[in-house]
């Protein structure tokens, strides 16, 4: 049975439908999914405006209860929904379950934030006048999310949007619609006004583009690629719509000669190949000090070769398939490009044949690369990583910072001095010390610099900057 969109509070069939197949096993049909029409989008945007006013007027504890219920259900059903997520996206089951549980935590965190919306007050510079500064909802928020964290990325946008009193129109990635329907079913069952939350599945080029061009939208939160992000920003400016974007990166992990070797190798393997390398925080550049280079590379390559690649739902699998035929084709093209640029492919980077027909490839490590190569400048979103050998800490820092992106960076070192200097001088929004470049908390800001991000930070209290607008009130009480 076709899964439907949630339009103005009703589950509706669309103008067409698409099929969704399991990238671990193409014979497994996950389901059929409705594609919203332009008219449905208009109708749901109109209803969202009405519902938003009603929702913003709900009592704080009523909103808090809604967010808590969504979060608690996600956590309680992490096993079931994580299995669905892994089945349609291809990440190993432990990662799928972990993602759904984490998505629940975004909702329970922002449930508590419902009660922590405290403004400022001041005396006016004019006599006998008081000033009250508080935040109000921006209105109708469009959320456009990617497939690589289909539940978590959407949740870290939806939870604050609702917490601060907004309506949401969500266009998930068309490659992972099942997770989107599952989350929408949970949200729709709550005590919310009809049409407060909409699901508009459809392709980015059609329904996504129409959504970001709509003057009925007050704010757009997007995660995805740089070209699409730039197009969204250009559309948003036509209506002066507020926009927030997170667009991936070319994250570097610097491994110093004083590093704990085994720790460095395990951080590099996890950071490069977790989620099949399809993470905006993936360690795609390993900047390695000459003093530890050979030992590091030997263990890294051995570790990559030992990784178990297979069906995402199979016990013991460490790396699932890539998400789609298109992504696989692009990844293999990057392998050829790396070789043609003079990089040495030490292992992996090959299409793999498995008992199930899926989009499998082996984790690949490039050696003898330099930071000018395209494989070190462009986001590949692939299970591929490059080693760049450097002669000193200073050179490592300068290579780390030599990128158009700036989401995360990390250093592996036992030196407090180097760790401190790196933390203060790496030009990224997130810096890690003796930790992977991937993996962040929900209660603190997340975002980057350069081509990685645009607009206010996401997550934690920082999210209020995007999902609210400030009102400054002047009050003259008059004589007693
Ligand atoms: P896209 O940027 O195309 O997709 C991200 C989201 O934007 C999806 O929901 C997509 O819809 C939607 N979208 C696409 N075009 C438009 C548009 N014109 N207007 C509004 N919304 C639109 O990324 P891809 O999924 O194609 O991945 C391509 C590359 O992007 C990856 O290889 C990776 O480099 C990068 N990427 C980075 C991510 C990150 O976490 N920063 C996440 C995902 C991708 P739909 O998919 O349905 O077309």
Does the active-site annotation cover 114?
no
- 445: confidence class by pLDDT, cuts 50, 70, 90: very high
User: Residue 10: pLDDT above 90?
Assistant: yes
How many angstroms separate the Cα of 188 from the Cα of each of 10, 33, 277?
10, 17, 33
Between CA 327 and CA 254 the distance in angstroms is: 27
User: Residue 440: pLDDT above 90?
Assistant: no
Half-sphere exposure of 12 (CA within 13 A, CB side): 21
The model's pLDDT over 261-286, given as tens digits with 9 standing for 90+, comes to 999 999 999 999 999 999 999 999 99
User: Residue 1: pLDDT above 90?
Assistant: no
The model's pLDDT over 367-400, given as tens digits with 9 standing for 90+, comes to 999 999 999 999 999 999 999 999 999 999 999 9
* Average confidence score pLDDT of the chain: 97
pTM, entire model: 0.97
Kindly list the protein residues whose Cβ atom lies closer than 6 A to any atom of ligand 1: 144-148, 171, 173-175, 203-205, 208-209, 212, 223-225, 228, 231-232, 246-248, 280, 379, 381
Between β-strands 16-22 and 25-35, what pairing exists: parallel, antiparallel or unpaired?
A: antiparallel
Average pLDDT over residues 450-455: 96
Write down the catalytic residue from 73, 88, 89, 246.
246
Does the active-site annotation cover 379?
no
Considering the chain, what percentage of its residues have pLDDT values greater than 70? 100
Which residue has the CA at smallest separation from atom 48 of ligand 1? Answer: 204
Write down the catalytic residue from 280, 347, 379, 458.
280
Ligand 1 pocket: which of 224, 230, 245, 374 to mutate (most atoms within 8 A of CB) = 224
Domains of the chain, first to last? 5-247+452-474 (3.40.605.10), 252-433 (3.40.309.10)
The alpha carbon of 11 and the centre of ligand 1 are apart by a number of angstroms equal to 25
The alpha carbon of 171 and the centre of ligand 1 are apart by a number of angstroms equal to 11
The model's pLDDT over 196-207, given as tens digits with 9 standing for 90+, comes to 999 999 999 999
- 439: confidence class by pLDDT, cuts 50, 70, 90: confident
The model's pLDDT over 283-302, given as tens digits with 9 standing for 90+, comes to 999 999 999 999 999 999 99
The alpha carbon of 351 and the centre of ligand 1 are apart by a number of angstroms equal to 23
The alpha carbon of 225 and the centre of ligand 1 are apart by a number of angstroms equal to 5
User: Residue 429: pLDDT above 90?
Assistant: yes
Which residue has the CA at smallest separation from atom 22 of ligand 1? Answer: 204
């Amino acid at each position: 049975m076709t899964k439907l969109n949630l339009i103005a509070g009703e589950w509706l069939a669309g103008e067409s439908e698409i099929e969704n197949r399991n990238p671990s096993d193409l014979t497994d049909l996950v389901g059929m999914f409705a594609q919203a029409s332009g008219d449905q989008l208009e109708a749901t945007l109109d209803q969202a405006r009405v519902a938003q006013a009603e929702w913003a007027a709900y009592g704080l504890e009523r909103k808090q209860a809604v967010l808590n219920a969504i979060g608690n259900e996600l956590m309680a059903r992490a096993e079931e929904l994580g299995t669905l997520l892994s089945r349609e996206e291809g990440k190993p089951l432990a990662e799928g379950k972990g993602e759904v549980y984490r998505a629940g935590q975004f909702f329970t965190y922002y449930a508590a934030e419902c009660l922590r919306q405290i403004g400022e007050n001041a005396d006016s510079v004019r006599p006998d006048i008081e000033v009250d500064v508080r935040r109000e909802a921006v209105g109708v928020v469009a959320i456009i999310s990617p497939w690589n964290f289909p539940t978590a990325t959407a949740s870290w946008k939806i939870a604050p949007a609702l917490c601060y009193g907004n309506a949401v129109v969500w266009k998930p990635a068309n490659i992972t619609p099942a997770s989107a329907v599952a989350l929408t079913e949970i949200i729709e069952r709550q005590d919310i006004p009809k049409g407060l939350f909409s699901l508009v599945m459809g392709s980015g080029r059609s329904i996504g583009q129409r959504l970001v061009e709509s003057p009925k939208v007050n704010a757009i939160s997007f995660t995805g690629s740089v070209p699409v992000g730039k197009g969204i920003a250009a559309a948003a400016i036509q209506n002066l719509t507020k926009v927030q974007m997170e667009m991936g990166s070319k994250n570097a992990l610097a491994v110093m000669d004083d590093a704990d070797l085994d720790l460095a190798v395990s951080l590099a393997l996890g950071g490069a190949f977790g989620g099949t390398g399809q993470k905006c925080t993936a360690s795609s550049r390993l900047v390695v000090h000459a003093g530890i280079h050979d030992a590091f590379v030997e263990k890294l390559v051995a570790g990559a070769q030992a990784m178990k690649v297979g069906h995402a739902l199979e016990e013991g699998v460490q790396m699932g398939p890539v998400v789609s035929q298109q992504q696989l084709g692009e990844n293999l093209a990057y392998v050829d490009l790396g070789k043609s640029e003079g990089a040495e492919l030490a292992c992996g980077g090959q299409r793999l044949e498995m008992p199930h027909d899926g989009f499998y490839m082996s984790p690949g490590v490039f050696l003898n690369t330099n930071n000018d190569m395209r494989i070190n400048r462009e986001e590949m979103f692939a299970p591929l990583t490059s080693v760049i050998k450097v002669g000193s800490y200073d050179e490592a820092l300068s290579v780390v910072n030599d990128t158009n992106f700036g989401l995360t960076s990390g250093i592996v070192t036992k030196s407090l001095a180097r760790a401190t200097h790196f933390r203060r001088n790496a030009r990224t929004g997130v810096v890690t010390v003796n930790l992977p470049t991937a993996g962040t908390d929900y209660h603190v800001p997340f975002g980057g610099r350069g081509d990685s991000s645009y607009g206010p930070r996401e997550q934690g209290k920082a999210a209020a900057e995007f999902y609210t607008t400030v009102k400054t009130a002047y009050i003259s009480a008059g004589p007693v």
